Amino acid sequence: MSLRLIEVFAAPEHVETITAIAKRFQALNVWRDAAPIDGVATCRIVARPERQQELIDQLQGALGKEPAWRMTIMPIEATIPELEQTAQAGHRAEQATREELYAEIERGARIDGTFLQLVVLSTIVAAIGLVENNATITIAAMLITPLLGPNIAMAFASTLGDRELLARAAATNAVGVALSVLCAAVVGPVFAGDASSALLERARLGYDAIVLALASGAAGALSLTTRLASTLVGVMVGVALLPPAAALGYFLGTNQPRLAVGAAALLAVNIVCVNVSAQLVFLFKGIRPRRWIERRAAQQSTRISLAIAGILLAVLIGMVHWQKA
């Protein structure tokens, strides 16, 4: 986990409290301005990597009710000379704080022009790749990965019990999937012909699809919490979500209802699995709300969402078993 510089801007009377909290969590360095500027004092803290989230939570608890305060969190790329604690912790994987995750994930839950354009473009490319049975084109479409953001945001919001973010992420995901299906339904008849093996593969629901979707969701959440490169992870999630949506639209547009049902079932199981595994990773990584009353609500939200997902997953697995039988 890397070092972070935490800057706290608050009224001068809170400086001693901020300093005491920093020392309680064994901050590596604490500085404070010699004199307040415009009635606002500044404290800068270099927090121990393993105690950053605890320190941030305590600062929020102490200052949260104040009318004018602010905290900024910035990663430290390097220090000279290198701190001994940094060298000793070098083997640990970096983990983002809850606030950093929220800021990044919340952007993926927004419906804006860029998101809609990426959905349209990636669906057109994916549909052409599936129709032409060209894996290279299909992978190129999945590199755009517009559906990664809202699905990970749904899992993250369920973990925190954040109903507002969950509603926005679910709406964004629904709009993205619907737009993808619609685009493929429009593009499909233009390239209509004998269904390629790639298309037919997206109309078959199997245990391998369930495992792939579970692994994709877990990898997506893990890449965010540990700050790993997300490009390849985005491809994994794209494999699980974009091709089935494009196949569903193609089969609807070419009036093949039986194959459309298979593609819809595959898309449904993939969405459920991606969200379940991502949510479990967030729980395993200790992502939770700051206040205890919010934690109780989050636990209830998590239990409900996992129970619903478990029921849906059981039904879908039953469908797989029935198909094979």
The per-residue pLDDT for 229 is 52
Tokens describing residue 7:
């800057």
- Positions of the chain with pLDDT lower than 70, given as ranges: 1, 34, 83-95, 193-194, 227-239, 290-298, 323-325
The per-residue pLDDT for 90 is 46
The string of DSSP codes covering 80-108 is: SSPPHHHHHGGGSPP---HHHHHHHHHHT
pTM of the prediction?
A: 0.74
Q: What's the alpha-carbon Rg for the chain, to the nearest Å? A: 23
The per-residue pLDDT for 297 is 64
| Pick from 204, 177, 141, 146: nearest CA to 271 | 177
The per-residue pLDDT for 116 is 92
The model's pLDDT over 283-301, given as tens digits with 9 standing for 90+, comes to: 888 787 766 556 666 677 7
| Euclidean distance between CA atoms 153 and 166, whole angstroms | 7
Q: Is 204 helix (H, G, I), strand (E, B) or coil?
A: coil
The model's pLDDT over 173-195, given as tens digits with 9 standing for 90+, comes to: 999 999 999 999 998 888 776 67
Contact 41, 12 (CB under 8 A): yes
| Mean pLDDT for the chain overall | 81
Tokens describing residue 87:
């060298």
The per-residue pLDDT for 180 is 92
What are the distances in angstroms from CA 83 to CA 6, 36, 89?
A: 17, 29, 10
The model's pLDDT over 130-172, given as tens digits with 9 standing for 90+, comes to: 888 887 777 777 777 788 888 888 888 888 888 888 899 999 9
Q: In this structure, how many other beta carbons lie within 10 angstroms of the beta carbon of residue 65?
A: 7
Q: What end-to-end distance do the CA atoms of the chain give, in Å?
A: 49
Q: What structural domains and CATH numbers belong to the chain?
A: 4-92 (3.30.70.120), 99-324 (no CATH)
| Pick from 56, 16, 53, 48: nearest CA to 32 | 16
The per-residue pLDDT for 236 is 57
The per-residue pLDDT for 12 is 87
The per-residue pLDDT for 7 is 92
| Pick from 151, 139, 147, 138: nearest CA to 119 | 147
